Every structure is written in C-alpha cells, then in structure tokens.
Structure 1
Amino acid sequence: MAGKKITCLSCGQTNAVPFDKLAAGPKCGTCKAPLMPDAPVDVDLATLVKAAQTDDVPLVVDFWAPWCGPCKMMGPEFAKAANALKGQARLIKLDTQKHQSAGQRYGIRGIPTMVAFKGGREVKRQSGAVSAGAITDWVKGL
C-alpha cells in the first residue's frame, strides 16, 4: 500500500494517501468522507482503536464528556486547533460517557485529556483544558 495509511473515521476503511496530498482534502475511497477533516470528528471506541493502531498520520484524541465544564470550554479551542493542523494531524473526540470502556482501556483518570498516537502507539498525553495555540504547539511537538 503506497502512501500514508489513514483510517476513514466514517466507515472504518483503511486508505492510502500520498504524503503530498494530505492537505489537499483527500476522501475515503469507499464512502467519500473527508480523511483529513478541518474540524474534530466524534468517533466511537472501535474507530479510535483501529485508527490509533493503523494510521501513519498523527491522531490526537480529546477524551471528554458533555457534563464536564472544562471540556465545554476546551471544545471550541480543540476545533480551532484542528483547523490549523489540517493536513498535518487529525483531531478527534471521544465521549467517555457514551463509551465508558474507553476510559479504562486508555487509562483516562480525568477529563479533558488529550492523547496523541503515532505509528500505532501512544506518544504523548496532556490533561486539563488548554487553548488552541497550546494544542497546536503540543501537536507540532510530536
């Protein structure tokens, strides 16, 4: 498979995208959903597990819950960072209230928590609400 492996966040299909096309708005070969969206995508646990293990592009997950005040404050900042990082990394969100086993699987002790995956493994973690600029800098440091 030539190019970077990227899991479609809509249908779960693994796609190969040439490196120089990552910022050009590649779409899934199966369902035509954007592979490098400019806004965070809400995913389920199965999609997160596959993307974290498969993707060649850095994947940053915001573990959050709808009742969490700091999570609500960080949501718009995470969205701004996703737009700024389009083509370099994918930012996704996982609702820990809906997917309670995710917290245990990934050792989430408090929310919001960002976890970065690269090359099939966790490479970085940050807890607490942070600004878009701090998120962008954090991701660029991967």
Structure 2
Amino acid sequence: MSRVLHVVCPHCASINRLLHERMTDRPRCGRCHESLFVGQPAAADAEAFARHLNRNDIPVLVDFWAPWCAPCKVFAPVFEQAAERLEPNVRLIKLNTEQAPQAAAEHHIRSIPTLALFHSGRELARQSGIMDLGRLIRWVEENLRQAA
C-alpha cells in the first residue's frame, strides 16, 4: 500500500498530496506548478512558516536568522548546501526573525542563528550557532533517527 504524504509547496505554501514513492520524481505543486523540491531553503513569512511546521509530513529544518547577523551570513551557504543534500526527505526553511518576531518569540529564539528540527509540528532538536556541512547533516540525521 502506498503512503500518502502532505507536502507544503516552498513557493505558494499550498498543501500537496504526494505518494511517498514519488518524492524523487520531481513532483510539482498542484496549485502553482512549481517544483516541490528545489534543493534550496525556502524563505517563509510567519504564515508560511506555521503551515510548513504543522502541515508537512516530512521533517522541517528551520534556520532562524536576521539580515544584520554576521554569523547568519556566514552560515547561509552551508544551509543552502544542506538543502541540496537533505531534500526531499527534509524541508529546509529560513525564517527572518526581524520580519517574523512573533513566530521567533513563540519558539523562544534567544540567539541567532538557531536551527530547530521539527516533525509533525513538534520540535525534535535545537542548536544555536553555526556548523559546517558535515556536522549539520550528521546532527539532522542523528536527531531524526532518535525520533523514529
């Protein structure tokens, strides 16, 4: 029996139903027709962020950042590389805490950059500061394995 997943579009934030075995077939959004997996982090406003957390059936890795933050700028290329490696199994989101202060406050973000890994709306792990790509990938994989 095929497992149906709900996947939030990184472009229009609409919810798509997708067969698990079709995740690697370059699926497109039923609403905007853009690719559901682009190998890049999706920038999200507060509304799209909430939808990704609560409606995605795949894990969501969030980079809480701000444009004035020097470590955030240093970490941005690493996070982009991680998206290339982790999608389609994990959705990567960038949330600008300056534009979505309420969402950052609701998740008790005290320093940036902060990474938080979510699944089914529940936070699985959190890490403040920057990491290299290898350490980031291992951190995500270890936390997903522990949550399974």
- Do Structure 1 and Structure 2 share a fold, with TM-score over 0.5? yes
Between the aligned partners of 2:20 and 2:37, the Cα distance in structure 1 is 12
Moved over 4 A (4+): none
Structure 1 partner of 2:88: 87
Conserved 8 A contact 2:11-2:42: no
Structure 2 partner of 1:46: 47
Deviation at 1:66, TM superposition (A): 0.8
Between the aligned partners of 1:116 and 1:59, the Cα distance in structure 2 is 6
3-state SS of paired residue (1:125): strand
Between the aligned partners of 2:25 and 2:79, the Cα distance in structure 1 is 21
**AA partner of residue 90 (structure 1):** R
Structure 1 unmatched runs, 5+: none
Alignment of 1:55-70 (within 5 A): 55-70=56-71
What is the number of residues matched between the two proteins? 141
Q: Normalized against structure 2, the TM-score is what?
A: 0.90
Conserved 8 A contact 1:6-1:54: yes
Deviation at 1:100, TM superposition (A): 1.5
My pick for the range that moved more, 57-66 or 115-124, is: 115-124
Structure 2 unmatched runs, 5+: none
Q: Normalized against structure 1, the TM-score is what?
A: 0.93
Q: CA RMSD in A?
A: 1.2
**AA partner of residue 68 (structure 1):** C
Conserved 8 A contact 1:24-1:87: no
